[in-house]
Chain A
Amino acid sequence: MMREPLLSVRELRTYFLNNKKIVRAVDGVSFDVNKSEIFGLVGESGCGKSATCRSLIRLVQSTGEIVGGEILYNGEDIVQAPEKRMAEIRGREIGMIFQEPMNTLNPLTTIGVQLMEVYQRQKLSKAEMTEKAVEMMRLVGIPDPVTRLKDYPHQFSGGMRQRAMIAIALAAQPKLLLADEPTTALDVTIQDQIIRLLLELREKLSMSIILVTHDMGVASRMCDRIAVMYAGRIMEITTSHELFYNPRHPYTLGLMRSMPLAGKGVRLEPIQGTPPDLSEEITGCPFAPRCKMACDRCRTESPALREVEPGHLSACHRAEELTGESFLTCKEVQ
């Protein structure tokens, strides 16, 4: 039986206006996120992964706008929802955490006040709110929560701030958490702690997470399924095992070959060139100018995201020719 997806994005387009030019940051993105699934959006900077994530709760910067497509959350279209309904969805249904917690926490009030703000709409007494806040802090592993509630964000370390952000995002018990590069600003040992925390919370609260990251290592550790984005489009979607062991898009393979996974002396194979300028019209496949496999068809006809194997989608005309290559072959050629 097919499970009903929690979130279903269809042909989402978010455009920005920059210097009187239209920048197609998100250009026809479609994907589903199932219940209690961790779904990864990976790609290099400027590929539209953050813009996609922000579009999902309609928090696109003022120069941008969702110009088309639909975002079905439990069957309800978020793109069309009135602003009043959106205010209810944000936080209560879909929570969000960001890369740099110092920029998103209010420096002028204590963590406790910011956390308890979430409970104010539930008409609880002060004592009940404090109790709930302490419980939340304990859940995300902040030691000594009763005293820490009275601390300001600057008194927290980087890792603790990210934990506090997670506590605030989860206080209203959202069913979906959007995590935009949650560990990028942290040291590896702290990153490891936050990864473990998010994985544990997913189990406990059975929520779904959309993880935006540029780090293939983090994505492979956390995600059930991964979408690889490039130039505002999705290039490939599949389970994380499939993506690493059986990639079906030259861009995904290019990313893996760029990583120093093999030993010394094995030369890296970087993807030549640079990503396209999104303010210009792209004909054909956006990756074609950098792709070693590109043929005439790739330069003229934009490949649709299609199922090349059950559950494995790829937007490449020549996906079938890519078999038997994986990150392991990149790792083992010595």
Chain B
Amino acid sequence: MSEVLLSVENMVKQFPIKQTMFDVIARKPKRYVRAVDDVSFQVQKGETVGLVGESGCGKSTLAKTICRLHSPDGGKVVFDGMDMFGLRSDELRRVRYKMQMVFQDPYSSLNPRMTVRQMLTEILSVHKLCPKEERTARELEVLDMVGMGENALDRYPSQFSGGQRQRINIARALIMKPDMLIADEPVSALDVSIQAQIINLLIDLKNELDLTMLFISHDLRVVKYISDRVVVMYLGRIVEMGETEELYESPCHPYTDILLKAAPEVDPDSDGGEYVIHGETPSPIDIPGGCRFHPRCPYADEKCKTVEPPLVELWPGRCVACHHRLGGQGPA
């Protein structure tokens, strides 16, 4: 049995809504957006977990809170046996380099005024990872890993294309020799042909360096291709999780089912099926009572409007939060 590298337990992250002067005078209670609401899951060492959901479902907030880029409002994150939320900032710095992030936008996540060498050197010196005289060698090593040459070292981000910048972003994360990579929509801003290059690169690096990866994306095709397991989120909660193949073959939650059917298949003969989803994701400020998905769910009944379904384990590895789960088949 493989060991658990990352364990998220009942994590809550909420953001206060700005109050107007009138609200303050009238002493209205502060309201919050519960971006991540009681989320628990585990990532085993060496696996790739895909996190999917539509915009505003809390997937990016979840990722940032795991790294403590946001301070959490509840719950626990245990990474490699250490409680991330209990660490002091100097301790956190020592732990954090084991867990690195790659962000979506390759344009805004690199400092335009720093050369690639400056960026990489800064990381090495801040974390005192290697002696001065070995720095250049280490920098060249990671650039080589992401398929870039020595001539990239003294150039600025503006001199690279989107795909190359994303390679630099990955190099920047890898220079720390992390155990885990959290990739937040790493290929969403790229064109298909470049996207494929980066996906191949991530898979190769994962195998070579024995990385564990949390891969966040709204693109279901990419997630299916890259992940071992998939976690589906809706309005701050996990609605379903399970093995990738199994989950795509037989989704148990109506939302997963709809999400999979709505993604246009590359097939000129497909008419998209008869399935239509009505309505839009409600605002996370006014989360519907009962099951969060009930206003849009074709199977919703009275119970769904009042009782929130808990996330239950159907069989080892497969969890779903629904009163009327679809007939997913257990593993043969």
A215, B268: Cα distance in complex, Å: 13
Of B32-40, B80-88, B256-264, the stretch lying at the interface with chain A is B256-264
Selected A-B contacts with CB under 8 Å, 28 pairs: A45-B191, A188-B218, A188-B259, A189-B280, A192-B262, A195-B272, A216-B192, A217-B265, A220-B265, A220-B266, A220-B267, A220-B270, A241-B268, A241-B269, A255-B192, A256-B266, A257-B196, A259-B221, A260-B199, A263-B225, A264-B225, A264-B226, A264-B244, A268-B200, A270-B193, A270-B195, A271-B196, A274-B194
Cβ contact within 8 Å between A268 and B199: yes
Q: Which residues of B contact A159 (CB under 8 A)?
A: 280
Cβ contact within 8 Å between B196 and A268: yes
Number of contacting residues on A, CB 8 A?
A: 46
Query: CB of B308 within 8 A of chain A?
Result: no
Closest to B191 in A: A44
Closest to A46 in B: B191
- Taking A159-B280, A195-B272 as contacts, is the C-beta distance between A270 and B196 under 8 angstroms? yes
Cβ contact within 8 Å between B270 and A189: no
- Residues of B258-309 contacting chain A, CB below 8 A: 258-259, 261-272, 276-277, 280-281
Q: Which residues of B contact A267 (CB under 8 A)?
A: 200
Cβ contact within 8 Å between A255 and B193: yes
Closest to A243 in B: B268
Number of A-B contacts (CB under 8 A): 121
Query: CB of B224 within 8 A of chain A?
Result: yes
- Residues of A208-229 contacting chain B, CB below 8 A: 214-218, 220-221
Q: Which residues of B contact A158 (CB under 8 A)?
A: 280
Q: Which residues of A contact B193 (CB under 8 A)?
A: 44, 254-255, 258, 270-271
State how many angstroms separate the Cβ of B278 from the closest Cβ of chain A: 8
- Taking A44-B191, A192-B272 as contacts, is the C-beta distance between A269 and B196 under 8 angstroms? yes
Q: Which residues of B contact A259 (CB under 8 A)?
A: 192, 196, 221, 266
Cβ contact within 8 Å between B264 and A193: no
**Which residues of A does B touch, CB under 8 Å?**
44-45, 157-160, 187-193, 195-196, 214-218, 220-221, 239-241, 243-245, 254-261, 263-264, 267-272, 274, 327
A174, B266: Cα distance in complex, Å: 29
Task: State the 8 A-B residue pairs at the shortest beta-carbon distance, nearest first.
Answer: A260-B225, A270-B196, A217-B264, A258-B196, A44-B191, A192-B262, A271-B193, A187-B54
Cβ contact within 8 Å between B224 and A195: no
Q: Which residues of A contact B191 (CB under 8 A)?
A: 44-45, 214
Q: Which residues of A contact B218 (CB under 8 A)?
A: 187-188
Q: Which of B54, B195, B264, B265 has the most CB of A within 10 A?
A: B264
Cβ contact within 8 Å between A274 and B161: yes
- Which listed residue (A187, A214, A221) contacts B272, Cβ 8 A? A221
